[in-house]
């Protein structure tokens, strides 16, 4: 008897998964990266708002696609049905080998660093963390979702503490001195947009669990729009308090803005509290990744283009246990290997190519006469803006890191013979 995934999640779960997929440790650290590119409070906040607007346009696109293809694997299914199974396979291929697994490895090591267990090597604690989350998710989608929701609420509490401390603490001297940048204004804005867009990434992974939502056509659309809108408000609030306490120059001069804000308000006790908050935030991101990504590998195997065992669903927990274990194992290997940061840089451009292609997928479905119950506002103009923004990031990444980009494309193309091999076996 073939067992199917169980539809046990609702709109609230989807919203928590969207927020959890976006917010990791970056928002506690990344504001200084943007401040080093643009040097006035208005531009710094403006860049974060523009990035949020682009993310919201993407959420509109994915919300409509979710009503068209409410299937397990989400983005994988959109690419498969709009273009060709090979395109979808290449997405899943890079997701497993580098994008998702490498990101999880990096975040797991970040969690290990912030827990400050000096007697245990960071890579060992990272692997133990991944193992525990793998086991939790094997007990069922509700078990994984409840863990993710709890960590998400703790993460929001940490961010709320940071914002409250920033609003109640001292204010930076005014007027703030601004410094000249290394780039012309337009290039500086483009450089600032890159870390902002990366910080907003991750909401698309919520589409992977469409096969386990009770009402995917409604719940995923609600989760995407409510989740992304919430993150925009959170990100702008965090940057506002960083600017309020540190000023634009002070923000640019520190590599730990959240810790500096908390130190200003509460001393070293505040630094300890926010370090715990960052650790919880990274753990929440890991939990979300372990919950969502295995559904793509499950969908690939169900289509006959991956190991057939990965499509197996446990008869009791009704989750793809083999796919979950596979995700945890690959992430653990990369964490132990220790060169995940370089690997991640290889596939930055590849990741955003698939973002853009997913936007094009909506244009393809509309041209075929398909339209979901949710309609993307301003389509096709807003959809094309989202696609253009994604591919401008690809172009910028190739220009800054041509060697790493070529390696990323090579990893992508290595999936072509792998796809041919699995298709031959299936036939």
pLDDT in tens, 328-361: 999 998 888 765 556 656 667 788 899 999 999 9
Judged by average pLDDT, the poorest of 60-69, 336-345, 362-371, 392-401 is 336-345
Judged by average pLDDT, the poorest of 47-51, 161-165, 169-173, 176-180 is 176-180
Q: In the prediction, which pLDDT does 198 show?
A: 77
Q: What is the C-alpha to C-alpha distance for residues 305 and 361, in angstroms, rounded to an integer?
A: 21
Q: In the prediction, which pLDDT does 369 show?
A: 93
| Residue 285, token pair as written in the block | 């991101």
Match domain 11-426 to its CATH number in 3.30.70.20, 3.40.47.10, 1.20.1740.10, 3.40.50.300. 1.20.1740.10
Of the candidates 406, 383, 15, 30, the one whose C-alpha atom is nearest the C-alpha of residue 197 is 30
To 5 degrees, how large is the angle CA 195–CA 200–CA 206?
A: 145
Residue 180 scores a pLDDT above 60: no
Q: In the prediction, which pLDDT does 345 show?
A: 62
Q: With helix as H, strand as E and coil as C, how does 224-272 read?
A: HHHHHHHHHHHHHHHHHHHHHHHHHHHHHHCCCHHHHHHHHHHCHHHHH
> What are the residues whose beta carbons fall under 8 Å from the beta carbon of 345, sequence distance 6 or more?
401, 404
**Alpha-carbon distances of 134 from 131, 206, 282, 287, rounded to whole Å:** 5, 18, 15, 9
Alpha helices in 293-320 (DSSP H): 294-302
Q: What is the C-alpha to C-alpha distance for residues 7 and 209, in angstroms, rounded to an integer?
A: 9
**Is the pLDDT higher at 21 or at 359?**
359
Q: In the prediction, which pLDDT does 176 show?
A: 47
Residue 232 scores a pLDDT above 80: yes
Q: In the prediction, which pLDDT does 340 show?
A: 54
**Mean pLDDT over all residues of the chain?**
87
Q: In the prediction, which pLDDT does 37 show?
A: 85
**Is the pLDDT higher at 265 or at 183?**
265
Residue 257 scores a pLDDT above 70: yes
Judged by average pLDDT, the poorest of 112-116, 169-173, 376-380 is 169-173
**Are 42 and 252 spatial neighbours (Cβ–Cβ below 8 Å)?**
no
* Chain-centre distance for alpha carbon 405: 20
> What are the residues whose beta carbons fall under 8 Å from the beta carbon of 113, sequence distance 6 or more?
122
Q: In the prediction, which pLDDT does 236 show?
A: 96
Q: In the prediction, which pLDDT does 99 show?
A: 83
Judged by average pLDDT, the poorest of 183-187, 301-305, 317-321, 353-357 is 183-187
> What are the residues whose beta carbons fall under 8 Å from the beta carbon of 252, sequence distance 6 or more?
32, 35, 36, 39, 179
Average pLDDT over residues 102-115: 82
As beta bridge partners, residue 213 has 9
Residue 414 scores a pLDDT above 50: yes
Q: What is the C-alpha to C-alpha distance for residues 195 and 33, in angstroms, rounded to an integer?
A: 7
Residue 13 scores a pLDDT above 60: yes
Average pLDDT over residues 152-168: 92
What's the Rg (C-alpha) of the chain?
21
Q: What is the C-alpha to C-alpha distance for residues 239 and 32, in angstroms, rounded to an integer?
A: 9
Q: In the prediction, which pLDDT does 178 show?
A: 47
Average pLDDT over residues 194-203: 82
Q: What is the C-alpha to C-alpha distance for residues 321 and 213, in angstroms, rounded to an integer?
A: 18
- The model's pTM is 0.87
For residue 9, report the phi and psi dihedrals to the nearest 5 degrees. -110, 155
Count of Cβ atoms closer than 10 Å to residue 123 Cβ? 17
């Amino acid at each position: 008897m073939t067992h199917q995934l169980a539809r046990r999640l609702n709109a609230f779960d989807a919203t928590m998964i969207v927020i959890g997929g976006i917010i990791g440790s970056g928002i506690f650290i990344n504001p200084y990266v943007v401040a080093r590119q643009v040097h006035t409070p208005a531009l710094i906040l403006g860049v974060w708002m523009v990035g949020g607007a682009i993310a919201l346009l993407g959420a509109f696109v994915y919300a409509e696609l979710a009503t068209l293809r409410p299937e397990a694997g989400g983005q994988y299914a959109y690419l498969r049905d709009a273009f060709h199974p090979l395109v979808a396979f290449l997405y899943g291929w890079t997701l497993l080998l580098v994008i998702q697994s490498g990101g999880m490895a990096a975040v797991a090591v970040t969690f290990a660093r912030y827990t400050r267990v000096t007697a245990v090597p960071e890579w060992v604690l990272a692997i133990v963390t991944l193992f525990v989350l793998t086991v939790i998710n094997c007990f069922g989608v509700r078990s994984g979702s409840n863990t993710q929701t709890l960590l998400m609420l703790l993460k929001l509490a940490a961010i709320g503490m940071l914002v409250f401390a920033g609003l109640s603490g001292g204010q930076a001297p005014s007027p703030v001195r601004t410094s000249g940048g290394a780039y012309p204004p337009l290039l500086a804005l483009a450089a600032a947009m890159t870390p902002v867009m990366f910080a907003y990434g991750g909401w698309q992974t919520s589409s992977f669990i469409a096969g386990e939502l009770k009402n995917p056509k409604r719940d995923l659309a609600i989760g995407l729009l409510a989740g992304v809108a919430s993150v925009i408000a959170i990100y702008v609030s965090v940057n506002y308090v960083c600017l309020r306490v540190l000023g634009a120059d002070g923000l640019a001069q520190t590599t730990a803005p959240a810790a500096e804000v908390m130190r200003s308000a509460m001393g070293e006790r505040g630094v300890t509290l926010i370090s715990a908050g960052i650790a919880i935030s990274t753990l929440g991101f890991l939990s979300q990744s372990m919950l969502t990504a295995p559904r793509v590998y499950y969908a690939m195997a169900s289509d006959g283009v991956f190991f057939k065992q990965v499509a197996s669903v446990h008869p009791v927990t009704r989750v793809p246990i083999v796919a979950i274990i596979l995700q945890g194992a690959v992430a653990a290997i990369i964490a132990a290997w220790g060169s995940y940061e370089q690997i991640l840089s290889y596939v930055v451009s590849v990741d955003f190519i698939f973002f853009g292609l997913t936007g094009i997928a909506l244009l393809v479905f509309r041209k075929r006469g398909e339209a979901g119950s949710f309609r993307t506002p301003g389509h096709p103009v807003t959809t094309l803006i989202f696609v253009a923004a994604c591919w401008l990031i690809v172009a910028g990444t190739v220009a800054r890191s041509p060697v790493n980009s070529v390696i990323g494309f090579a990893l992508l193309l290595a999936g072509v013979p792998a796809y041919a091999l699995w298709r031959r076996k299936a036939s």
